[in-house]
């Protein structure tokens, strides 16, 4: 979608440890006027607008270049705000809210008529969450409306976890960007559908399937978590249908036993270098020494998956900054938080995965 860079974007610096009320009010007034404001959450930066205002929501899609059949998540700051967002709150949803809100869990429920279909991609369900970030909560409270917000990046690029990522993508496209430091989780929220008879996980995140099942019992995992979704029309959750989270470089994931993966990556790297490509390798602390002849970005420690999650999108953006044509990325075990990491990594590669056994 074409977009004219003709808007002056205000950068609002806010310290999450010492929130300036005047700055929050300035951003909230823009939300009330129907403008789009980028803001930090604990997961990634969000691109926010009044979720009750269809015209404002359309500005989000225009700024991102986002397909209109990809729904948005609605962010609230207080349980009472659910009254304008959903028609009913299932018992299992209440249990999960008590346990995980505020936090990186989005719950899909039946939407209220006040939520325009522009938010939900025409669906009668809506995803809702309460972010665990003091700036985000202060902004929503001050605006006095639920805020619809996808990640604050151009559609298809890696999600932004630092203000400079948002500025690079959104300068001139939106009214304001709140610069509020780095996002601690680094991956978008878990999305769980509770609108039907059985709970269905559509997108994995920091709240893992095991954590959910500890609270509400068995859940079903959708088949599209680690492979393409074969659906026509709107999907029930963001991050399902399209190639996502991708740098300009071509990403290839090598997945398998850690004793075999580095050798395969080195073989592939040698092949691409001979063909004249600039190669970058995404490694972990455990394997970094294997790639001493190549440009390596260490994404984290395999024994601490949270470290990988927190820096994954930043690493993908750094490969573009270094001018890589090809990124060869190590896979991780797809369990626990690793499931969310692999969900994002495989999509960033457009499902281009080499499996070692």
pLDDT tens for residues 39-96?
A: 999 999 999 999 999 999 999 999 998 877 789 999 999 999 999 999 999 999 999 9
CB 68 within 8 A of CB 242: no
- Residue 89 has φ and ψ, to the nearest 5°, of -115, 110
| CATH number of domain containing 282 | 3.40.50.11030
In 3-state terms, the chain is what percent helix, strand and coil (to 5)? 30, 20, 45
The residue segments making up the domain with residue 266 are 250-355
In a domain, 86, yes or no: yes
| CATH number of domain containing 41 | 3.90.870.10
30 and 109 assigned to the same domain: yes
Band (237; pLDDT cuts 50, 70, 90): low
186 and 123 assigned to the same domain: yes
Band (1; pLDDT cuts 50, 70, 90): very low
Confidence check: pLDDT of 3 > 50: no
Domain C-terminal end among 203, 221, 239? 221
142 and 257 assigned to the same domain: no
CB 62 within 8 A of CB 3: yes
137 and 202 assigned to the same domain: yes
172 and 76 assigned to the same domain: yes
141 and 270 assigned to the same domain: no
Confidence check: pLDDT of 213 > 70: yes
Q: Measured between alpha carbons, how far is 314 from 300 in angstroms, rounded to an integer?
A: 12
271 and 314 assigned to the same domain: yes
How far does Cα 55 stand from its chain's mean position? 23
Task: Classify residue 292 as exposed, middle or buried by CB count within 10 Å of its CB (0-12, 13-18, 19+).
Answer: exposed
Domain count, the chain: 2
In a domain, 199, yes or no: yes
Confidence check: pLDDT of 16 > 60: yes
Q: Measured between alpha carbons, how far is 234 from 298 in angstroms, rounded to an integer?
A: 36
| Per-residue model confidence (pLDDT) at position 7 | 78
In a domain, 236, yes or no: no
Confidence check: pLDDT of 2 > 60: no
Confidence check: pLDDT of 220 > 50: yes
Q: Rounded to whole angstroms, what are the CA distances from 32 to 9, 27, 123, 143, 160?
A: 17, 9, 25, 6, 24
208 and 282 assigned to the same domain: no
More confident residue, 251 or 66: 251
In a domain, 242, yes or no: no
74 and 184 assigned to the same domain: yes
Confidence check: pLDDT of 336 > 80: yes
Place of tokens 């001050």: 142
In a domain, 112, yes or no: yes
98 and 177 assigned to the same domain: yes
pLDDT tens for residues 117-172?
A: 999 999 999 999 999 999 999 999 999 999 999 999 998 899 999 999 999 999 99
30 and 146 assigned to the same domain: yes
Q: Measured between alpha carbons, how far is 142 from 132 in angstroms, rounded to an integer?
A: 16
């Amino acid at each position: 979608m074409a977009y004219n860079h003709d808007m002056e974007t205000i950068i609002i610096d806010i310290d999450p440890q010492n929130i300036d009320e005047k700055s929050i009010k300035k951003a909230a007034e823009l939300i009330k006027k129907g403008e789009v404001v980028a803001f930090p959450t604990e997961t990634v930066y969000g691109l926010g607008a009044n979720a009750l205002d269809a015209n404002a929501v359309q500005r989000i899609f225009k700024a991102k270049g986002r397909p209109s059949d990809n729904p948005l998540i609605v962010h609230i700051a207080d349980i009472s705000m659910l009254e304008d967002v959903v028609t009913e709150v299932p018992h299992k949803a209440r249990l999960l809210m008590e346990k995980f809100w505020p936090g990186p869990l989005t719950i899909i429920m039946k939407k209220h008529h006040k939520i325009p279909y522009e938010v939900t991609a025409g669906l009668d369900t809506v995803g809702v969450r309460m972010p665990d970030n003091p700036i985000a909560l202060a902004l929503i409270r001050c605006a006095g409306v639920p805020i619809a917000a996808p990640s604050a990046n151009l559609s298809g690029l890696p999600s932004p976890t630092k203000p400079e990522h948002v500025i690079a993508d959104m300068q001139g496209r939106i009214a304001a960007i709140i610069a509020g430091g780095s996002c601690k989780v680094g991956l978008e929220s878990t999305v769980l559908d509770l609108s039907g008879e059985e709970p269905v996980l559509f997108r994995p995140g920091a709240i893992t399937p095991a954590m959910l099942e500890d609270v509400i019992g068995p859940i079903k995992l959708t088949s599209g978590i680690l492979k393409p979704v074969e659906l026509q029309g709107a999907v029930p959750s963001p991050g399902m249908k399209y190639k996502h989270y991708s740098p300009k470089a071509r990403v290839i994931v090598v997945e398998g036993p850690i004793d075999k993966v580095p050798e395969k990556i080195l073989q592939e790297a040698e092949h691409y270098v001979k063909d004249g490509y600039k190669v970058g390798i995404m490694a972990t602390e455990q394997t970094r020494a294997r790639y001493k002849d190549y440009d390596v970005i260490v994404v984290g420690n395999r024994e601490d998956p949270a470290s990988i999650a927190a820096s994954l999108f930043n690493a993908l953006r750094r490969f573009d900054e270094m001018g890589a044509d090809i990124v060869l990325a190590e896979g991780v075990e797809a369990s626990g938080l690793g499931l969310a990491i692999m969900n994002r990594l495989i999509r960033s590669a457009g499902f281009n995965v080499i499996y070692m056994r």
